[in-house]
Amino acid sequence: MREITHFIDGAAVAGISGRFGDIFNPNTGEVQARVALATASELDAAVAAAVRAQVDWAATNPQRRARVMFEFKRLIEANMDDLAQMLSAEHGKVIADSKGDIQRGLEVIEFACGIPHVLKGEYTEGAGPGIDVYSMRQPLGVAAGITPFNFPAMIPMWMFGIAIAVGNSFILKPSEKDPTVPVRLAELMMEAGAPAGVLNVVHGDKVAVDAILDHPDIRAVSFVGSSDIAQYIYARGTAAGKRVQAMGGAKNHGVVLPDADLDQVVKDLSGAAFGSAGERCMALPVVVPVGRATADELRERMVAEIATLQVGISTDPAAHYGPVVSAAHRQKISDYIQMGVSEGAELVVDGRGFSLQGYEKGFFIGPTLFDHVTPTMQTYQEEIFGPVLQIVRAATFEEALALPSAHQYGNGVAIFTRDGRAAREFAARVNVGMVGINVPIPVPVAYHSFGGWKRSAFGDTNQHGLEGVKFYTKVKTITARWPEGAHEDSAFVIPTMQ
């Protein structure tokens, strides 16, 4: 059976723990590979390699580091089809979604190609008599990223792209459910010209995660996953003196005003709620129609739209989405659907009975629609992370605005309307970190930054863009004076600008 190894100091390294995780083919339910799960000593070896590599890499001028990013971008584009096939084979998302996963990560690499510009710092000439003040951004040293199963290409590139471009070395701990693409990304980074040890991949479970959080040479940790684990990562990492950004769960809402273009809304909801089997932290699993007439018409149209969706294997070009990542996750989604029924929500479309001929053991679940969901229901309060759309009816704009604002998660929200004033007010007042106006999945472009509020994010710095540069660097400010002639007596007070 194929074994997925660690990637340390520029080479494949077999695991020594004797512990392995199974890698499934979600389309068939069969085990297709196994991945080594690291010990703390294997993490130590990766960090040692990263420490050795980082000094010279940080001393490499930003333009040369940018050239590596340009070449990495070219290699990703040249290998796009192969990477997408690898990704779909382990995750289950359809090829088009896998290419989107890679492309959105690649956009951050494109931003990283311009890293010399954003590292220029600031300069003030003549801040005082003969005194100049300037600042520079310097890398932290060794950074680490702990990434989830749902975006095995995009999220690693969001993290290591910026971290490496600014001069750090990096330890990546990807999900043990789909680790092949992250390893291939590290190989391509070496092919692009990054020195051995600049990007290392260590597979593992909680043992590896805790080793990362406790290691004194790792200066910063970025995480994406569930909120409970994000809170744990943030607490333990910051207690160890690290800089930490930990992105958690989400329950994104889509508010539909009576004047919205329902034809477009239904198409947007279908893709945002059911695309990639709903396994996205920026999926849109809750729709809030305002007014009874809007809700009734939206429900009718969604039922018709769901009937057109095709669930298939990940390589089927006609499939709108494929299987979920594991049998355990499929069962979790099914349990949430049953919970919704028990709580009194109306199950309009039930996807639990879906089976694909010839792939009966695959991890498939059909699109599911609930109506008359209320804010007190546990299924509304928690993240389901599957192809389940819940309708929560609101009587007024204010009621609709209050729902995402009061929810424990604050990742993303969308409003659908033709009324510019209503959209503007909603965007200004809603208590959520990322807002879409007639955009169902408001993931910002790479030169802006990604980050939610409330229990969707722990830490004060967002991912990628200039926020990412700030996270992976520290500012040094220099105040300089070059006196002429004889030295004056030493001053024992802080100099002023007078």
Helix (H, G, I), strand (E, B) or coil at 74: helix
| C-alpha to C-alpha distance for 101 and 167, rounded to whole angstroms | 25
The DSSP secondary structure of 202-248, one letter per residue, reads ---SHHHHHHHHH-TTEEEEEEES-HHHHHHHHHHHHHTT-EEEEE-
Contact 24, 210 (CB under 8 A): no
Which residues make Cβ contacts (< 8 Å) with residue 300, sequence separation at least 6?
A: none
How would you label 220-257 residue by residue, b for 16+ Cβ within 10 Å and e otherwise? bbbbbbbbebbebbbebbbeeebbbbbbbbbbbbbbbb
| C-alpha to C-alpha distance for 436 and 416, rounded to whole angstroms | 9
Contact 6, 182 (CB under 8 A): no
**CB under 8 Å, gap of 24 or more: what pairs does 29-33 form?**
29/327, 29/361, 29/362, 29/363, 30/361, 31/1, 32/1, 32/2, 32/89, 32/90, 33/1, 33/2, 33/3, 33/4, 33/180
Contact 225, 174 (CB under 8 A): no
Two tokens, residue 130: 């003969």
Helix (H, G, I), strand (E, B) or coil at 404: helix
Two tokens, residue 124: 């003030």
Which residues make Cβ contacts (< 8 Å) with residue 425, sequence separation at least 6?
A: none
| C-alpha to C-alpha distance for 364 and 190, rounded to whole angstroms | 37
Residue type, 112: A
| C-alpha to C-alpha distance for 334 and 364, rounded to whole angstroms | 11
Is the four-CA dihedral 453, 426, 467, 181 of positive or negative sign?
positive
CA distance between the termini of the chain = 74
Q: Dihedral, CA atoms, 291, 297, 298, 304, nearest 10 degrees?
A: 170
CA triplet 79, 82, 86: central angle to 5 degrees? Answer: 130
Instruction: Check if 281 is active-site.
Output: yes
Please pick, among 13, 166, 281, 403, the residue that the annotation labels catalytic. Answer: 281
Helix (H, G, I), strand (E, B) or coil at 141: coil
| DSSP letter (8 states) at residue 444 | P
| C-alpha to C-alpha distance for 471 and 163, rounded to whole angstroms | 9
> Where in the sequence numbering do the catalytic residues fall?
281
